[in-house]
Amino acid sequence: GGGGAVELVAARVPVLADHPLVRGPRFKKLKIGAGHRLDVKASGVFVLGIGHGNKLLTDLHNCHLTKVYTVGGLFGKATDDFSDTGNLVEKTTFDHITREKLERILAVIQGTNQKALLTYSNIDMKTQEAYELAVKGLIRPMGKSPPIITAVRCLQFALPEFQLEIHCLHETQQYLRKMVHEIGLELKSSAVCTRVRRTRDGVFTVDDALPRTQWNLQSIQEAIRNCQLKVETELEKTLG
Amino acid sequence: RRGLCGAAGPPSTRQLREAEEAAPVFQYAGKAARRKDRVFVWGFSYSGALGVPSFVRPDEGWKKPRRIQTTPYRLETEEKISSAACGYGFTLLASNTRDITKVWGMGLNKDSQLGFQRSRRDQTKGYEYVLEPSPIPLPLEKPQQTRVLQVSCGRAHSLVLTDSEGVFTMGNNSYGQCGRKVVEDEIYSGSHLIHQLKEFDSRVVQVVCGQDHSLFRTKKGTVYACGWGADGQTGLGHYNITSVPTKLHGDIAGVNIIQVSSYGDCCLAVSDEGDVFGWGNSEYLQLASVTETTQVNVPRHLPFKIGKVKEAACGGTGNVVLTEEGNVFVWGYGILGKGPNLIETAVPEMIPPSLFGQSDFSPDIRVAHVRCGLSQFAALTNRGELFVWGKNLRGCLGTGRMEDQYFPWRVTVPGEVVDVACGVDHMVSMVRSFT
């Protein structure tokens, strides 16, 4: 035996058994569920749930939160599927349309939908409870109902184009396109929908959403972590 | 067999674009397109007050009569209607035109509250029920110059205000409410008598009918009254009948009154400084803030600390006021609009503006006018929306349902509501179309 103490130094060497090409991909099956539908011609926030998040998706659906869309429209044309890519049905004049007239129509849409909000919420109108909820503006249908618009306003108006911000419940994007068409009819002209973009789905806004360039594991994990608290508070507030 | 011309498959993008550019352009609104003025009615129809004869006597034998019109129904009128009033089972519509026919009436006519409507079957008798808007012949001196400014209806009498010929009254006069001497055993049915009132200290600018009394407001801000006074509703210091319009004093002496209102037996007046004065029936706590007595026969100042009042409206058992800020306050008895728990209050309570559509999204919605029927209330916002609440007597609220409404509820009207007149069991609204 020679001189001083023998120090054991751990050296790490790569093991072939750990290599992904030997072991296989880390995630073979991922349970991914989709939230509220977004059709092919629309864009915007689309909520997905991964693994255990699918249960949260069902809970979020039962919260019946409003979604916000930015809808772009064009006066002067009417097509068969209400969007600018459909077959032309009719062309009309539109120079008599003013922002004031448009806002009047929007006020009426909001008004009739407010009534629908109260009617489909299944609350007995004769109770004091119904009055208090109506004052706070917390009445909304907590079950199945036809599409309801809770708020509309005109963001931009430059003939022939215009842009609306729509807050709605239980809607489909085709319903919003049909609404643009009907606004055109009410104004004694015609309108088609050029774009539908969802800017908010319940608690998820455009800022939380990941663009195409960030569809990788690290960003997804970070996004889930950031939204966790928001989702939990909302679920607790609504479902108790 | 297809010829050699024509495309083989679906049209290309260029062809679609060219076809689109070549398509004809349709014009639905011309240069002279204006917003149209319309009248909408709803409520109980059998009295003829809605002015739609097919509701009472259907055109086809197999059709059923419509007793109640629960949602607003458009009434075709020949002229633009500038003023409307609902009485107890009848309606008056007035236009401020210079044409000979300025006022139309429909509904109950048993006391000639719609003037004499000559029957076609018997030229000597008049109709007791008028089913469609029929012209009321006013004995004007200058029929092609005078304009009708406003109309008002009570239980069985009506008042018509003109710009230069004073006030015309017709209908029941058993309590002197038409401003002329009570004739014993007078038969009012089929009467041709229309009385003219011109003796006031200045030009009359507003006429109001209570149940069996009449109020007149002049340009100088004074109030005159005549008619039944058993509840003190004439405000003249006694409980007797008055058959000549007499000036009111009390707390409104020397005060410039800018608006009066009445429909039942209680009356309210608003001064230019925003104070509220009341007199008449107080059995339902309408005036309980100043006195415990149930009848007040002299105008009393109501010391409410709710801000400057802009407009007031009196119902049968409840009252409503609108302040300068656009807030709505209710008091009295009945369905007041704050849920089923608030049945009576002597002190005005505010209805939260969120019930009229105000929210963070639309913060500048304000109530512009308030109106009262016998047991229902109506409010008009600055966006032209109509909100109603109260007892839904024979569908008079126009909500489409028959239940009472305990808080303000939007009525869907296809247009911007400019004014509304409330009656006992029906309502009339003047609406402007959107485009």
Q: Which residues of B touch A130 (CB under 8 A)?
A: 339, 406-407
pTM, full prediction:
0.87
Extents of the domains making up chain A: 34-239
Residue B338, both tokens? 């704050």
Q: Do A93 and B27 touch (CB under 8 A)?
A: yes
Please tell us whether the domain made up of A34-239 is placed in CATH 3.40.50.2300: no
Phi and psi at residue B244, in whole multiples of 5°? -130, 135
Q: Do B338 and A187 touch (CB under 8 A)?
A: no
**What is the per-residue pLDDT for B16?**
85
Phi and psi at residue B196, in whole multiples of 5°? -115, 135
Give the closest-approach CA distance of A53 to chain B in angstroms: 32
Residue pair B140/B146 in contact by the 8 Å Cβ criterion: yes
**What is the per-residue pLDDT for B1?**
54
Active site residue A39: yes
What ipTM was assigned to the predicted interfaces of this complex?
A: 0.82
Task: Among B23, B352, B359, select the one facing A91 at the smallest CB separation.
Answer: B23
Task: Among A92, A127, A187, select the one facing B25 at the smallest CB separation.
Answer: A92
Q: Which residues of A touch B407 (CB under 8 A)?
A: 130-131, 134-135
Residue pair B279/B235 in contact by the 8 Å Cβ criterion: yes
Count Cβ atoms below 10 Å from residue A137 Cβ, excluding itself: 18
Tell me the average pLDDT across A18-28: 84
Q: Do B338 and A104 touch (CB under 8 A)?
A: no
Band of pLDDT at residue A117, cut at 50, 70 and 90: confident
Residue B24, both tokens? 């004809």
Cα gap B157→B153, rounded to integer Å: 6
Cα gap A151→B435, rounded to integer Å: 21
Q: Which residues of B touch A188 (CB under 8 A)?
A: 28-29, 33, 435
Q: Do B340 and A126 touch (CB under 8 A)?
A: yes
pLDDT > 90 fraction of chain A, expressed in percent and rounded? 54
Strands B386-390 and B376-381 come out as: antiparallel
Count Cβ atoms below 10 Å from residue B101 Cβ, excluding itself: 15
Q: How many CB pairs under 8 A join A and B?
A: 96
**pLDDT tens digits along B48-102:** 999 999 999 999 989 999 999 999 999 999 999 999 999 999 999 999 999 999 9
Alpha carbon separation from B326 to A200, B184, B329, B367 (Å, rounded): 33, 48, 10, 5
The catalytic position among A39, A81, A124, A201 is A39
Give the closest-approach CA distance of A31 to chain B in angstroms: 39
- For A101, the 3-state DSSP assignment is helix
Tell me the average pLDDT across A216-239: 90
Count Cβ atoms below 10 Å from residue B105 Cβ, excluding itself: 30
User: Is residue A82 left, alpha or beta, with left meaning phi > 0 and alpha meaning psi from -120 to 50?
Assistant: left
**What is the per-residue pLDDT for B419?**
96
Positions of chain B with pLDDT lower than 50, given as ranges: none
Is the confidence at residue A2, as pLDDT, over 70?
A: no
**What is the per-residue pLDDT for A1?**
45
Cα gap B208→B213, rounded to integer Å: 9
Q: Do A105 and B33 touch (CB under 8 A)?
A: no
Q: Which residues of A touch B414 (CB under 8 A)?
A: 108
Q: Do A90 and B435 touch (CB under 8 A)?
A: no
Band of pLDDT at residue A199, cut at 50, 70 and 90: very high
Among all residues of chain B, which has the CA nearest to that of A151?
A: B361
**Which of A126-140, A200-214, A221-235 shows the lowest mean pLDDT across its residues?**
A126-140
**What is the per-residue pLDDT for B32?**
81
**pLDDT tens digits along B179-189:** 999 999 999 99
Contact residues, chain B to chain A, C-beta under 8 Å: 16, 19-20, 23-29, 31, 33, 338-341, 352, 354-355, 357, 359, 361-362, 383-385, 403-407, 409-410, 412, 414, 416, 434-435
* Mean pLDDT score across all residues of chain A: 89
Give the closest-approach CA distance of B421 to chain A in angstroms: 21
With tokens 């149930």, the residue in question is B294
